[in-house]
């Protein structure tokens, strides 16, 4: 196979985490459902569908990064059972069930680790640039088993840097720390507004990952340089468009 020359040479790829390296949306749905089931089983005497609906409102109002969702949930529901059961036990049951789901079901998409391994063999620099709380996002990388493939100083978390998506300054910090120019770096993410528009405004190559995305470029008017369903497609793009000598995976 012939490889087309790339000018300037692509040297690094940065990835979003959520709904790009694993299905955050699907995992969260399962984990919250399991947590609600456990809380009802522990003595929260309300139908699960009622509890879930209220939990979804809590998430919408306080964001998914808030640390006390279940406490707020009980405050809002005010179930009669709290006079007979210590609310701390109900909250703990939900927390344990949520974290047990992490142990059982938090895995990257099937092609992520083979793709990362192939990229490393091709001498590509790999990193992540993600929005969220520092410990939560770092925990995801550890649980997903991706840390060994990442450049240690190329993990950029919005909370840790003090700049939130979609501010392009977040990507500018990453470029400066990696000592690379925009044209040498590709960014891969699922959100047109948060993952495509900001790095593209700086001149980085952008890839929209469609498989777990909730919004499409067509609905936003934001066009990425490339759109892929999976990382095997991205591998072909790297070979044919960027001249990366990437092994099959």
Q: Is residue 8 very low, low, confident or very high in pLDDT (cuts 50, 70, 90)?
A: low
Q: Is residue 82 very low, low, confident or very high in pLDDT (cuts 50, 70, 90)?
A: confident
Number of domains, the chain: 2
- The pLDDT, as a whole number, for residue 76 is 94
Asked whether residue 4 carries a pLDDT value surpassing 70, the answer given is: no
Any domain includes 89: yes
Same domain, 220 and 198: yes
Same domain, 161 and 225: yes
Of the three residues 72, 105, 138, the one that is the final residue of a domain is: 105
Same domain, 188 and 141: yes
Same domain, 126 and 206: yes
Report the CATH number at residue 194.
Answer: 3.40.50.1000
- Of the listed ranges 3-17, 92-106, 154-168, the least confidently predicted one is 3-17
Which residues 6+ apart lie within 8 Å of 152 measured at CB?
none
Same domain, 17 and 49: no
Same domain, 17 and 122: yes
Same domain, 100 and 221: no
Cα dihedral 110/113/114/120 (nearest 10) = 160
Report the CATH number at residue 96.
Answer: 1.10.150.520
Of the three residues 105, 124, 159, the one that is the final residue of a domain is: 105
Same domain, 114 and 73: no
> What is the pLDDT of the chain when averaged over all its residues?
93
- The pLDDT, as a whole number, for residue 34 is 97
Same domain, 32 and 120: no
Same domain, 216 and 171: yes
Any domain includes 142: yes
- The pLDDT, as a whole number, for residue 83 is 83
Asked whether residue 111 carries a pLDDT value surpassing 50, the answer given is: yes
Any domain includes 248: no
Could you tell me the pTM of the whole model? 0.86
Q: Is residue 2 very low, low, confident or very high in pLDDT (cuts 50, 70, 90)?
A: very low
Same domain, 139 and 176: yes
Any domain includes 55: yes
Residue 224 burial (CB < 10 Å; 0-12/13-18/19+)?
Answer: buried
Q: Where in the sequence is the domain holding 54, given as residue range(s)?
A: 26-105
Look-up of token digits 């997903």:
144
Residue 37 burial (CB < 10 Å; 0-12/13-18/19+)?
Answer: middle
**Structure confidence by residue, pLDDT tens digits, 206-241:** 999 999 887 787 788 899 999 999 999 999 999 999
Q: Is residue 3 very low, low, confident or very high in pLDDT (cuts 50, 70, 90)?
A: very low
Separation of first and last alpha carbons in the chain: 16
Mean pLDDT of 116-122: 97
Same domain, 48 and 130: no
**Structure confidence by residue, pLDDT tens digits, 29-81:** 999 999 999 999 999 999 999 999 999 999 999 988 788 999 999 999 998 87
Q: Are 17 and 140 in contact (CB under 8 A)?
A: yes
């Amino acid at each position: 196979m012939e490889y087309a020359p790339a000018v300037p040479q692509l040297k690094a790829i940065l990835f979003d985490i959520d709904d790009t390296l694993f299905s955050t949306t699907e995992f969260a749905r399962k984990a919250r459902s399991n947590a609600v089931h456990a809380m009802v089983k522990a003595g929260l005497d309300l139908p699960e569908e009622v509890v879930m609906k209220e939990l979804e409102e809590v998430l919408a109002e306080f964001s998914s990064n808030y640390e006390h969702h279940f406490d707020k949930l009980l405050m809002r529901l005010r179930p009669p059972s709290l006079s007979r059961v210590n609310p701390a036990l109900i909250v703990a049951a939900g927390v344990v069930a949520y974290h047990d789901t992490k142990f059982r079901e938090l895995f990257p998409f099937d092609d992520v680790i083979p793709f990362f391994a192939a990229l490393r063999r091709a001498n590509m620099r790999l990193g992540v640039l993600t929005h969220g709380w520092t410990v939560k996002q770092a925990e995801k990388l550890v649980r997903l088993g991706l840390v060994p493939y990442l450049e240690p100083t190329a993990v950029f978390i919005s909370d840790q840097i003090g700049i939130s998506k979609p501010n392009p300054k977040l990507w500018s910090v990453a470029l400066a720390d990696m000592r690379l120019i925009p044209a040498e770096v590709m960014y891969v993410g699922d959100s047109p507004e948060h993952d495509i528009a900001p790095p593209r405004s700086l001149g980085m190559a952008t890839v929209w990952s469609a498989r777990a995305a909730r919004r499409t470029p067509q609905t936003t008017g934001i066009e990425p340089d490339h759109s892929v369903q999976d990382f095997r497609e991205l591998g072909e793009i790297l070979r044919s468009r960027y001249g990366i000598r990437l092994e099959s995976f």
